[in-house]
Amino acid sequence: MGLNLTQKIIRDHLIEGDWTKPGSPIAIRIDQTLTQDATGTMAYLQFEALGLKRVKTELSVSYVDHNMLQTGFENADDHAFLQDIAYKYGIYFSKPGNGICHQVHLERFGRPGGTLLGSDSHTPTNGGIGMLAIGAGGLDVALAMAGEPFRLNMPKVVKVHLVGTLRDFVSAKDVILEVLRRLTVKGGVGKVMEYVGEGILSLGVPERSTITNMGAELGATSSIFPSDEITLEFLKRQKRADVWKPYAPDPDAEYDEVIEIDLSTLDCLIACPHSPDNVKPVREVAGKLADQVAIGSCTNSSYRDLMTVSEMLRGKTVHPRVSAALFPGSRQILNQLILNGGIAPIVQSGFRIMESACGACIGMGFAPPTGGVTVRTFNRNFEGRTGTKFAFAYLCSPEVAVATAIAGEITDPRDLNFGKIQFSFPEEFFIDDSNIIAPAKEDEAENVSIRRGPNIQPLPTREPLGKELNGSVLLKVGDNITTDHIMPAGAKVLPLRSNIPKISEYVFEIVDPTFAKRAKEAGGGFVVGGNNYGQGSSREHAALAPMYLGVKAVLVKSFARIHLANLINFGILPLFFVNEKDYDLIEQGDELHIDVSSIQLDSPLTVVNLTKNQHYLVKLPITSQRQLDILLAGGTLSYVKQKGVIHSS
Ligand code: MIC
Ligand code: SF4
């Protein structure tokens, strides 16, 4: 039986477990890690707590791309801390302004056939060059930096068989929007999406990476393309041909599921508010007036995307009602557009040129007006994520975004007269790594001191799980609750990422602004949720801050992968209903009692609803004794310390 590419990479990195059995626990070696600033401060505080002198990975990189608005000392404190930590512990540091982590990593560091663990859910962007790239919570990344394997359940592998070629003005974003339309935001949970077929030959690395990037919105563990001649071409332009190796599935590879997409039949698509899977043909929503257009993010800000934008905008003007902005994916891309003149048509059209950073994608500026329609090339349109609670965000390709910016209403680019869009790729990109700071040599590292401003607060910890859990249901929510609901981002809250006591005041703010106060007053309690609880970002703050507020257990119908891992890491008991109907019976305010003294892997627990005198059966969605021991210990850090698993050197 032939192997698919995912199985090959996992087999080559396997430390523990049986990769032939989907769903069974495995542990794999991690070659590279990446962090970004919004999750990185916690990840490095955790790494420090492990007591090592140096990272043990082949390569680790710390990026600053999220918290770039410096309206006070907070973000600047974080940047200084991150830079010093990186210098001391053997980590490369990509300075603010150098670009979005996933884009820069693709350009300068990723390598086919390797494993990458990143404290950001869009880490699978590097699957575009044939890497097995996985998003995780900061603590899991800290452990990987300490040389620990990454633990996950062996994913199912889905073959996404692409045939045909895309029509003009239909692009990679439409491919992944089509996958989202078919599978929904929970369709990828527990799976790796592996793209194959003759259709991939017409997709360059930037297009492939747009597709693997937004696999995160399917809830997938990762997404990957083979490494082929097209990958080599990309790496040559980056003067990195030496890291190239071909990687492909065997011709008779077997898959757990198969999807086929004929690229030549795809339309221009758009995800409507407030979910990335609410996908419709653009022509169905055409005519909706737009207030804002934003182009950028780790999904759609490559050289290919921005040159397309530039050529489409040549000689055109942004519609008077539209405010338009561009966030280049990296300094390299921006530089290239300056050198070849590509930036001029964009500036002349009236687009605002913003920093090479996440920017508006994470609500760091450029929030839309109240009740406004914002059309974005980004990957998430959850309610409130733009920074404006009452606004309507649509997600589309750069082609649709440009057409909309010019027309002032949502527009299919094929309905305007753009002619043929053509541009060439430079033989070699303008490579300038001066904004990537190499770490100190090992013998100098000891003397490096770390700047720790007042925004850097110590890590909170949790006590071991006691014999019983008591308290009330603090909040009951529905399906598909995102980490943006649990722990909002945006310009006001993001600067508090290294200050858990402060940031915890915003937990569930957009769902119920009284939550944090009530949780504190009650000395903690429970949260009840529906399906796919915790989808979206990898932010461990969505577990850490509720833990700080005393949340003891979360009872839901099902969990999203990264959030579940984060809950376990921070000692919050994740439970799912054996009978989903029980979800309907519990109400906010009900007093619950859970006897955890006899807790065991695989056997259900009983939740007693003291208010209603009812009993519900619940289970832990965990597969290993290790995970149970972590929960009993009050989280991974306590567990690791108790067991002395990490040996400092
Ligand atoms: C996001 O897109 O939501 C983020 C911000 O990049 C997050 C990480 C974070 O919350 O810091 C992600 O996708 O993991
Ligand atoms: Fe940054 Fe947005 Fe990408 Fe998250 S999704 S890494 S906020 S650009």
Q: Which atom of ligand 1 is nearest to the CA of 119?
A: 14
pLDDT band at 556; cut points 50, 70, 90: very high
Q: Is 39 in the pocket of ligand 1 (CB under 6 A)?
A: yes
Q: The tokens of 76 are what?
A: 């600047």
- Three-state SS sequence of 589-609: CCEEEEECCCCCCCCCEEEEE
Q: Residue 647 has what pLDDT?
A: 53
What pLDDT, in 10s, does the model give residues 383-412?
999 999 999 999 999 999 999 999 999 999
What pLDDT, in 10s, does the model give residues 249-261?
999 999 999 999 9
What pLDDT, in 10s, does the model give residues 151-170?
999 999 999 999 999 999 99
> Residues 105-121: what's their mean pLDDT?
98
Q: Residue 386 has what pLDDT?
A: 97
> Residues 453-465: what's their mean pLDDT?
91
Atom 3 (ligand 1) nearest CA: 537
Q: Is 379 in the pocket of ligand 2 (CB under 6 A)?
A: yes
Domain borders along the chain are 5-265, 269-415, 468-643
Instruction: Find all residues with CB under 8 Å of 166, minimum gap 6, and list them.
Output: 172, 174, 175, 202, 263, 264, 266
Q: Residue 641 has what pLDDT?
A: 83
Q: Is 361 in the pocket of ligand 2 (CB under 6 A)?
A: yes
> Residues 524-543: what's their mean pLDDT?
97
Q: Residue 208 has what pLDDT?
A: 99
Sheet arrangement for strand 14-17: 14-17, 25-28, 150-153
Q: Is 537 in the pocket of ligand 1 (CB under 6 A)?
A: yes
Q: The tokens of 637 are what?
A: 């850090």
Q: Is 61 helix (H, G, I), strand (E, B) or coil?
A: strand
Q: Is there a common fold for 5-265 and 269-415?
A: yes
What pLDDT, in 10s, does the model give residues 485-520?
999 999 999 999 999 999 999 999 999 999 999 999
Q: Is 122 in the pocket of ligand 1 (CB under 6 A)?
A: yes
Rg (CA), the chain: 24
Q: Is 298 in the pocket of ligand 2 (CB under 6 A)?
A: yes
H helices present in 541-586, as ranges = 541-548, 561-569, 582-585
- Of 277, 108, 249, give the one whose Cα is nearest residue 185: 277
Atom 2 (ligand 2) nearest CA: 361
What pLDDT, in 10s, does the model give residues 192-205?
999 999 999 999 99
Domain 269-415 bears CATH identifier 3.30.499.10: yes
Expressed in angstroms and rounded, the spacing between residue 539 Cα and the centre of ligand 1 is: 6
Q: Is 100 in the pocket of ligand 2 (CB under 6 A)?
A: yes
What pLDDT, in 10s, does the model give residues 348-374?
999 999 999 999 999 999 999 999 999
Atom 12 (ligand 1) nearest CA: 537
Q: The tokens of 607 are what?
A: 């939740």
Q: Residue 645 has what pLDDT?
A: 64
Nearest ligand by distance to the CA of 103: 2
Q: Residue 642 has what pLDDT?
A: 83
Q: Residue 602 has what pLDDT?
A: 86
The residue that leads in pLDDT, 471 or 641, is 471
Expressed in angstroms and rounded, the spacing between residue 484 Cα and the centre of ligand 1 is: 9
Asked if residue 33 lies in contact with residue 116, where contact means CB atoms within 8 angstroms, the answer is: yes
Q: Residue 598 has what pLDDT?
A: 83
Q: The tokens of 159 are what?
A: 């073959």
**Rounded to an integer, what distance in angstroms lies between the CA atom of residue 515 and that of residue 555?**
17
Sheet arrangement for strand 257-262: 222-224, 191-196, 156-163, 257-262
Count of alpha carbons within 13 angstroms of residue 480, beta-carbon side: 15
Task: Identify the CATH class of 5-265.
Answer: alpha beta
Question: How does the average pLDDT of the chain come out, rounded?
Answer: 97
- Of 374, 355, 390, give the one whose Cα is nearest residue 294: 374
Q: The tokens of 410 are what?
A: 């949502």
Q: Which helix (H) or strand (E) element contains residue 75?
A: helix 73-89
Topology of 468-643 in CATH? Aconitase; domain 4 (3.20.19)
Q: Residue 649 has what pLDDT?
A: 44
**Count of residues making up the chain:** 649
**Rounded to an integer, what distance in angstroms lies between the CA atom of residue 122 and that of residue 494?**
18
Expressed in angstroms and rounded, the spacing between residue 246 Cα and the centre of ligand 2 is: 29
Q: Is 542 in the pocket of ligand 1 (CB under 6 A)?
A: no
